[in-house]
Amino acid sequence: MSENYVECLVKAKGSLGFVFLKWLLYFVTIFCAISIFMFGTGIIGMLLAMAAGYGGYYVGTLADIEYEYLYLDKELVVDKVMAKTRRKRVATYSMDRVEIFAPIKSYRLDNYKNRQTTDRDYSIGYEDKPDRRYVFYYEGGERILLSPSEEMLKVMKNANPRKVFTD
């Protein structure tokens, strides 16, 4: 039995709000720590510094996100890696249930534009030049955006030539 196995890791663009909030909380942490020594704010300043430091760390993990795609024998698994420390399985898709897999600006997606679908974005999060994001429609109800590598596209196209297009 021939097994097709490909992994791909992409870094998603962090939200500007999360990045700003992370640095604001780090600044509050430093300010509270300095105020403990300068003004003797005591236990309140220490608790505030600890809370802001923990909040900055937690928001920092939400701002640093990567997606890992794993393709193995007509099954695509998407994992979310937060701050290179925690991993969470986001979704598993069977390629037998995929209707079409094509570039985001492909003419092949014209028939699917007016559908009422749930959008899920596991891509890099922005339009690059050239745009390497791909869309696939899963069982008619979901529209999923990905940013797969060339190797993954090649393996997927060989396994599903009638559903996967690289235009």
Q: What is the pLDDT of residues 56-114, one digit of tens each?
A: 998 888 888 999 999 998 899 999 998 888 899 999 999 999 999 999 999 999 988 88
> Is pLDDT of 39 > 60?
yes
Q: Residue 107 and residue 57: Cα distance in Å, rounded?
A: 43
Is the Cβ–Cβ distance between 158 and 121 less than 8 Å?
no
- Among 126, 148, 149, 152, which residue's Cα sits nearest to residue 135? 148
pLDDT at 25 over 70: yes
| Contact between residue 22 and residue 63 where contact means Cβ atoms under 8 Å apart | yes
Q: Which residues are registered as beta bridge partners of 164?
A: 101
Enter the pTM of the model. 0.80
Residue 146: how many CA atoms within 13 Å on its side-chain side? 31
Percent of the chain with pLDDT over 90: 54
